[in-house]
């Protein structure tokens, strides 16, 4: 099944990436039949840390955190398929396992064996799936406000279906893109419980004005089978740190505490006063939390 025509209106590097955060750290690679945009930080011979953003974001989401993590690691942060400047997946592969497979192919082609895997929201779900499928075997998985459990009640049934209808309608992403002015983007971000600086808001606005990026986010949500992931999570043997923003309005903080009881090696760190985009609001606090957990891994 071909992708809707709006996916042709994708963010362009020459236009939308002209002043992209850490532009000098960017490069493009071919893997899994896609052209990927990724950024790398840190010493080439340092332990690898794989960094995956959430739905609707891109590498700009790590502009504050990645350089801090790069003090100890070689940080590799791709734009997920259909997001930012990476190509979209074909419809038949547009699922959580399909996304995990594609990122796994990317890491294999780059010869990466991540020691740490850090993901935000849906990016954490991709990493968890990769660990379960043994595509990566990190010493530590960090989920920042991870989208790892199903939506409550009817939302679990209705939300993916609604997203799919919107994704398949070629008009929806264009309408969203036309309406993505600064005020609308601020309302959207505020609705997650986070407060971003003007640069952060502008970068999201820039992406949301591109119908192809909006379609990538909708397509990801439309095909997200969280119940299947949730059923498999008790088999996750990887040590896991669940970082939770106390003011997160997108994913209930209580979900992480409930999930902790189902994971063999999980711990929750609550960061009060931060929302869903905690890593963008307070990258230093998140970096310190990750560093403390890494230090605890040492024998």
pLDDT at 156: 40
As given in the structure block, the two tokens for residue 85 are 């400047």
pLDDT at 180: 62
Helices (H), ranges, the chain: 13-16, 65-69, 96-109, 122-132, 155-168, 172-178, 182-190, 198-208, 211-222, 226-232, 253-260, 278-281, 283-297
> Which CATH number is 188's domain given?
3.40.50.1820
pLDDT band at 264, cuts 50/70/90? Answer: confident
Q: Is pLDDT above 90 for 271?
A: yes
Around Cβ 187, how many Cβ atoms within 10 Å?
A: 9
Q: How many helices (H) and strands (E) does the chain have?
A: 13, 8
- Average of per-residue pLDDT across 12-26: 97
Q: Is pLDDT above 70 for 269?
A: yes
The total domain count for the chain is: 1
**Dmax over Cα atoms in the chain, in whole Å?**
56
Report angle CA 136, 138, 139 to the nearest 5 degrees. 160
pLDDT at 183: 81
Closest CA to 89 of 102, 78, 79, 76: 102
Q: Are 114 and 48 in contact (CB under 8 A)?
A: yes
Q: Is pLDDT above 60 for 281?
A: yes
Q: Is pLDDT above 80 for 99?
A: yes
Q: Is pLDDT above 60 for 171?
A: no
Q: Is pLDDT above 90 for 160?
A: no
Around Cβ 23, how many Cβ atoms within 10 Å?
A: 11
Q: Is pLDDT above 70 for 109?
A: yes
Domain span at 61:
5-297
Taking the C-alpha atoms of residue 207 and residue 191, their distance in angstroms, rounded to an integer, is: 18
Q: What is the pLDDT of residues 37-94, one digit of tens each?
A: 999 999 999 999 999 999 999 999 999 999 999 999 999 999 999 999 999 999 888 8
Q: Is pLDDT above 60 for 162?
A: no
Q: What percent of the chain has pLDDT over 90?
A: 72
Q: Is pLDDT above 90 for 165?
A: no
Q: What is the pLDDT of residues 201-241, one digit of tens each?
A: 999 999 988 988 988 888 887 777 888 999 999 999 999 99
Taking the C-alpha atoms of residue 116 and residue 50, their distance in angstroms, rounded to an integer, is: 6
Mean pLDDT over the full length of the chain? 88
Task: Specify the pTM.
Answer: 0.90
Taking the C-alpha atoms of residue 148 and residue 67, their distance in angstroms, rounded to an integer, is: 26
pLDDT at 151: 56
**SS3 for 134?**
coil
As given in the structure block, the two tokens for residue 165 are 């209808």
């Amino acid at each position: 099944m071909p992708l809707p025509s709006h996916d042709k209106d994708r963010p362009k590097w020459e236009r939308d990436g002209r002043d992209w955060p850490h532009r000098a750290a960017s490069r493009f690679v071919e893997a899994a039949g896609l052209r990927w945009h990724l950024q790398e930080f840190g010493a080439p011979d340092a332990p690898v840390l794989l960094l995956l953003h959430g739905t609707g974001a891109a590498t700009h989401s790590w502009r504050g955190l990645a350089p801090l993590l790069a003090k100890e690691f070689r940080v590799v942060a791709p734009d997920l398929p259909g997001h930012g400047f990476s190509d979209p997946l074909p419809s038949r592969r547009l699922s959580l396992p399909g996304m995990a497979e594609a990122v796994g192919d990317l890491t294999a082609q780059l010869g990466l064996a991540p020691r740490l895997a850090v993901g935000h929201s849906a990016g954490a779900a991709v990493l968890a799936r990769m660990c379960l499928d043994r595509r990566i075997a990190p010493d530590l998985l960090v989920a920042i406000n991870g989208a790892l459990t199903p939506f409550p009640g009817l939302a679990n049934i209705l939300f993916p279906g609604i997203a799919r209808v919107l994704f398949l309608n070629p008009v929806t992403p264009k309408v969203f893109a036309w309406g993505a002015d600064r005020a609308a983007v601020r309302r959207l971000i505020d609705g997650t419980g986070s407060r971003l600086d003007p640069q952060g808001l502008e970068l999201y606005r820039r992406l949301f004005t591109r119908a192809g990026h909006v379609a990538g986010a909708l397509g990801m949500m439309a095909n997200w089978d969280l119940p299947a992931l949730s059923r498999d999570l008790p088999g996750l043997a990887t040590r896991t740190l669940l970082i939770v923003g106390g003011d997160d309005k997108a994913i209930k903080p209580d979900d992480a505490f409930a999930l902790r009881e189902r994971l063999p090696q999980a711990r929750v760190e609550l960061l009060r006063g931060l929302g869903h985009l905690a890593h963008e609001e307070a990258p230093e606090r998140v970096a310190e939390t990750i560093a403390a957990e890494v230090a605890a891994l040492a024998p």
